[in-house]
């Protein structure tokens, strides 16, 4: 009992208790991995090709839409750019073979709050077309994954990451206000609104796996494996802190331009998590730890900002979910409040929590993509795409960080 209590109150600075906590639970993991429940897909799903074609007319409850072109395709169906007839409105319609009821339920819950103020995709309506479910959203620019691919995963600046981080945490605060957990946050599901006119303004999309807080089953497998929180891997009780972990990890990836290596097994993921937190792991896999982010900072005038960023990351990436920082607490972190610039006079701000705009250092050509459906918790090609594209500069950045640390 004494040992159990120590595990519950372990801190990131206590290496011994942290590793013991992981060791004991991972021994239990091999028995849970086969038997624990998994999120089930809609039984009505099929691999039948979508019958909707360009030029088709879709009759919604709030209007009539003409399919202009398809923006993306996934396991559940397609996403089409559609024109609302009789108006200038253009929407993105997600065409699903299946009920899509989980996503519709989540979107109805989210209708209680302002989508723009909370950086969530704007829901227009849902309706049926033959055997398909159609969900209409606002049209957005491109996903963060597409954006990073275009720049060969060159890391973002601290200023750019601060802007994205603020918006994502505000989104989590909005989700928490209606007792929802996204459960599938990843770079594919974070969209740039319009990178040319509103640099690094982002919105969270795809609520097909969203769960009500309190309805999350202990041991359920969720989240793409690239972003999976430790409590999901270990089969422990779940709550909204799984989203906080994922956002923290995404910020880490955006700053380093690198994914954790070795996503083929849960055990390897846990080892990488320990390394990311700066713990000693005896292997030869080069990988960034949070503390190494400070040593890799080339602009010495930014050291203080990077230190605050690292402190926020550590609080978001606590292995013990009960010790993780909350969205409200995160928004008050010095990373956001330190030297905050007030909006200039006459600047129109729809969101009172919106941070100052940042200078754009690199603007790849926009690519029109939106809310492309994904198979739940599937191991998509995303991890391998990241590994292939960052391999060109990963070793150089790793050696640079090591050299600066030695100096």
Binding residues for ATP, as ranges, are: 94
Identify the DSSP state of 97: E
Q: What are phi and psi of 304, to 5 degrees?
A: -60, -40
Q: How far apart are CA 104 and CA 140, in angstroms?
A: 19
SS3 195: coil
* Residue corresponding to tokens 């607490």: 329
Q: Which residues contact 99 (CB under 8 A, 6 or more apart)?
A: 42, 44, 133
User: Of residues 141, 184, 206, 243, which has the active-site annotation?
Assistant: 184
Nearest by Cα to 50 from 32, 73, 33, 69 = 73
SS3 106: helix
Q: Which residues contact 406 (CB under 8 A, 6 or more apart)?
A: none
Other Cβ atoms closer than 10 A to 72: 21
- The contacts found for 120-124 with CB under 8 angstroms, 24 or more apart, are 120/171, 120/174, 120/175, 120/203, 120/204, 121/191, 121/203, 121/204, 121/205, 121/371, 124/62, 124/91
Strands (E), 53-102: 57-59, 64-74, 77-84, 90-97
Which residues are bridge partners to 135 per DSSP?
94, 126
Query: Is 194 known to be catalytic?
Result: no
Q: Which residues contact 249 (CB under 8 A, 6 or more apart)?
A: 227, 317
Residues within the annotated binding site? 94
Catalytic amino acids?
Answer: 184
């Amino acid at each position: 009992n004494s040992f159990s209590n120590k595990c519950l109150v372990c801190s990131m600075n206590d290496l011994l208790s942290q590793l013991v906590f992981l060791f004991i639970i991972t021994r239990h993991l091999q028995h849970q991995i086969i038997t624990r429940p998994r999120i089930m897909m809609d039984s009505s799903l099929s691999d039948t090709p979508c019958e909707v074609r360009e030029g088709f007319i879709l009759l919604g409850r709030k209007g009539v839409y003409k399919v202009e072109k398809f923006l993306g395709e996934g396991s559940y169906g397609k996403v089409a750019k559609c024109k609302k007839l009789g108006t200038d409105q253009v929407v993105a319609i997600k065409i699903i073979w299946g009920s899509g009821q989980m996503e519709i339920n989540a979107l109805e819950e989210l209708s209680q709050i302002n989508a723009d103020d909370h950086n969530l995709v704007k829901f227009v309506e849902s309706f049926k077309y033959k055997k398909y479910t159609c969900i209409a959203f606002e049209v957005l620019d491109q996903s963060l994954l597409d954006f990073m691919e275009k720049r060969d995963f060159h890391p973002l600046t601290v200023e750019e990451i601060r802007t994205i981080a603020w918006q994502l945490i505000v989104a989590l605060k909005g989700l928490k206000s209606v007792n929802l957990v996204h459960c599938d946050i990843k770079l594919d599901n974070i969209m740039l609104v319009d990178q040319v006119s509103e640099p690094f303004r982002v919105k969270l999309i795809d609520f097909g796996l969203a769960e009500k807080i309190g309805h999350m089953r202990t041991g359920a497998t969720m989240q793409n494996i690239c972003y999976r929180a430790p409590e999901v891997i270990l089969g422990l009780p779940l709550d909204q802190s799984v989203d906080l972990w994922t956002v923290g990890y995404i910020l880490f990836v955006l700053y380093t331009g690198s994914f954790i290596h070795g996503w083929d097994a849960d055990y390897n993921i846990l080892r990488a998590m320990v390394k990311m937190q700066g713990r000693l792991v005896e292997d030869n896999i080069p990988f960034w730890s949070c503390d190494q982010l400070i040593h890799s900072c080339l602009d010495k005038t930014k050291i203080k900002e990077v230190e605050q960023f690292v402190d926020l990351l550590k609080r978001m990436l606590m292995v013990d979910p009960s010790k993780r920082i909350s969205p409200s607490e995160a928004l008050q972190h010095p990373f956001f409040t330190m030297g905050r610039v007030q909006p200039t006079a006459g600047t129109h701000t729809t969101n009172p929590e919106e941070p100052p705009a940042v200078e754009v250092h690199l603007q790849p050509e926009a690519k029109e993509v939106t809310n492309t459906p994904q198979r739940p918790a599937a191991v998509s090609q995303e991890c391998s795409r990241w590994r292939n594209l960052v391999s060109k500069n990963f070793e150089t950045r790793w050696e640079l960080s090591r050299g600066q640390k030695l100096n």
